[in-house]
Structure 1
Amino acid sequence: MLRRAFETEILDDGVNLIGPWRSPRQMLAEQVYDDHVSIHDDATAQRLGFKGGTIEGPTHFSQFAPLGERLWGDAWFESGCLSAHYRNAAFEGEEVQAVIVKPPPGARETEIRMIKRDRAEVLRGTASVAGAEGPTALERRLAEGLPPLQDPAILADVWVGMKTARQRVRMDFDQTMGALYPFSLRRKLAVITEPSWLYDLETASENQWGLVVIPFEMLSVLFQYTARDDGFPVRGPAVGLFADQEIRLVEGPLFVAEDYELEREVVAMSASRRTESLWVRTSVMRPGSNRVVAVMLLNLASLKDSYAPYARERAAIHGHAPP
């Protein structure tokens, strides 16, 4: 691509490429699932011990796109991969900064992190493109072993290997992306941290693909669009949050107003003191074929405290006294 996709100012300190400080917008205050508001609602988040409604993790992926393009050029849009463990929530009004380690010449993978002004890490992981030799951050995480899920309640009816039927999805400019994402691409582009002419209907036809590119952060929205319609039998209502996420382009970019098909599979289940976690791989294909164009791995962690009958159902299912 002769013309750079972004005008983002990038600092090169010799070791890292560093993006500017940004204040992402929180657009999910009205998100609804299981007929209730989510962790992105201030009151709900505060009741569960958070400062306020959290900014959804993949919103931060936009800030890494200019850094990925600087390292790998067009390959970033065709086979870019971000793989991240979310470490601390960010809230509207806070400034965050994307940092990517400069890899050796010819290397196709590197480390990433995002920090707040107080140096707290929002996320840590890897960025890569096709031909990377090492595992991604989440591939390492899965290979090292996850804390086992024992005596589940919220995930009592789910098992590893469970799959959903194939669903067709698309993203148009003015299409509201459902109860999970109560906004349109056009509204997102009005506040996105890293705008690009590739995302603009009037200019994108000048790119080598001739179509409008879906921003990296909005791939998560597209892939989750039907998640509540064809989802797994997770008990609720319970509040969930993204704990780990990897998005990999295989035959990218993905385009606005194009049809895709996807299917989901449970690939792992795990637990922490506060959560039961469902690890789902979403494979995205061209309609009527098995050609995979993108893959997302998502750890959706359900908060035990948000599920009212948690202790009672856990005891009933597994035959022991509530904890």
Structure 2
Amino acid sequence: MTAFPFNTPIALCGELRAPRQMLADQTYDDHKSIHDDAMAADLGLRAGPIEGPTHFSLFDPLLVALWGPAWFETGCISAHYQTMVVEGEETRAFVQQPAAGARFTRIWAEKRDGTPVLTGTASVGAPAADDPPTEIAGRIARLRPSGPLVINRDLRVGQQGAGNPERVRMGFDQHMGGHYPFTLADKLKVITEPCAWYTPEGGPSSPWGRAIIPTEMVSVLLGSTIDQANFRGRGPAVGLFAGQQIRYLQGPLFVDHPYELEREIIALSESARTESVWMRTRVFDGVTRAPVAEMVLNGATLKASYEPYEREARALGRSV
């Protein structure tokens, strides 16, 4: 085949999809979350946004098209969330076509009108020393020292989850708690990119002979027991996901299989509007204890949602 003569990036593009809002009844610390329409309105938003990792499903078919089943075994998706999406809006995924044999690429998602939804990276295989940084790794490396934190002043880098190890599993009809008031079966009825490998009927025909957990639902599995970690800032306050990375080490993760989680705070930061806890969650097979995946989450809390923020900031010697 003749070598491609243009220096023009080519991207794979998915279809426009309309993700569903499934977190309207989500609760955190005994109050509604940002995904509730009334709570969102109080914060100046027009409706409760769809959770960021919902958009990860848009990328799974494109990345399997690039790298085959290895995507679910050693793939890594790393994203910074840029613009909230509400139910009824359409989104589509883009993946830059990597060079032949390359295992790292850029990804992004947009609304129908071109508004950016997320930007990030995707890769497959064990990371090498000369690989470019993932989206999340690059952002952590660029963090600047913050002033004294207000909401998160009781937390520290290196802090381990109080519940380590947390024991989790996800059956098709298993309710995942107050943070995620739906089941995997509920999600599969409305998931933007259906796949036989996710289902009870098609799972046995997957390359692994079992049904696998969709990438977006890995976030649900790992988030279902987050309260056990006791990484609590001052509150009540409203948080959101500002960025997220999921890496498969020896994947995929399987439906109705036991896993153990270990959590650690790896960075603390702030922006003009938020304070962030950057948390790494390591996932181990509950039978063999082999490391199978990990997630890094930028959990951001809105300063304006914490009523005494300005008063406590001044008490800590901060200008507001």
* C-alpha distance after superposition, 1:13-40 (max 9, x if no partner): 9811100000000000000001100110
Q: In the alignment, what sits opposite 2:38?
A: 43
Question: Structure 2 length normalisation: TM-score?
Answer: 0.93
AA aligned to 1:40 is H
Structure 1: gaps (5+ residues): 1-12
Pairing of 1:104-253 with structure 2 (within 5 A): 104-131=99-126, 133-143=131-141, 145-164=142-161, 165-253=164-252
Q: In the alignment, what sits opposite 1:9?
A: none
Conservation of the 8 A alpha-carbon contact between 1:58 and 1:220: yes
Distance 1:236 1:321 in 2: 19
Distance 1:226 1:138 in 2: 23
* C-alpha distance after superposition, 1:236-281 (max 9, x if no partner): 1110010010000000000010000001100001101110000000
Match of 1:60, SS state, is helix
Structure 2 vs 1, CA of residues 131 and 284 (structure 1 numbering), >3 Å: closer, same or farther? Answer: closer
Pairing of 1:55-66 with structure 2 (within 5 A): 55-66=50-61
AA aligned to 2:156 is W
Q: Moved runs in structure 1, 4+ residues, more than 6 A?
A: none
Conservation of the 8 A alpha-carbon contact between 1:149 and 1:276: no
Deviation at 1:290, TM superposition (A): 4.8
Q: In the alignment, what sits opposite 2:3?
A: none
Matched, 1:260 2:247: no
Structure 2: gaps (5+ residues): 1-7
Q: How many residues align?
A: 308
Structure 2 vs 1, CA of residues 94 and 292 (structure 1 numbering), >3 Å: closer, same or farther? Answer: same
Matched, 1:277 2:272: no
Distance 2:284 2:110 in 1: 34
* C-alpha distance after superposition, 1:44-93 (max 9, x if no partner): 11211222100000000000000000000011011111100001101100
Matched, 1:33 2:28: yes
AA aligned to 2:134 is T
Matched, 1:310 2:309: yes
105-114 vs 41-50, greater mean Cα deviation: 41-50
Structure 2 vs 1, CA of residues 78 and 25 (structure 1 numbering), >3 Å: closer, same or farther? Answer: same
Deviation at 1:308, TM superposition (A): 1.4
Structure 2 vs 1, CA of residues 26 and 147 (structure 1 numbering), >3 Å: closer, same or farther? Answer: farther
AA aligned to 1:89 is M
Distance 2:29 2:202 in 1: 39
Pairing of 1:63-102 with structure 2 (within 5 A): 63-102=58-97
Deviation at 1:234, TM superposition (A): 1.5
Conservation of the 8 A alpha-carbon contact between 2:148 and 2:318: no
Aligned with 2:12 (options 17, 20, 25): 17
Q: In the alignment, what sits opposite 2:5?
A: none
81-90 vs 46-55, greater mean Cα deviation: 46-55
Match of 2:118, SS state, is strand
Match of 2:230, SS state, is coil
Match of 1:122, SS state, is strand
Match of 2:314, SS state, is helix
51-60 vs 283-292, greater mean Cα deviation: 283-292
AA aligned to 2:110 is I
Structure 2 vs 1, CA of residues 197 and 181 (structure 1 numbering), >3 Å: closer, same or farther? Answer: same
234-243 vs 306-315, greater mean Cα deviation: 306-315
Distance 1:276 1:219 in 2: 24
Distance 2:118 2:74 in 1: 21
* C-alpha distance after superposition, 1:210-249 (max 9, x if no partner): 1110011000000111002333131111100100100000
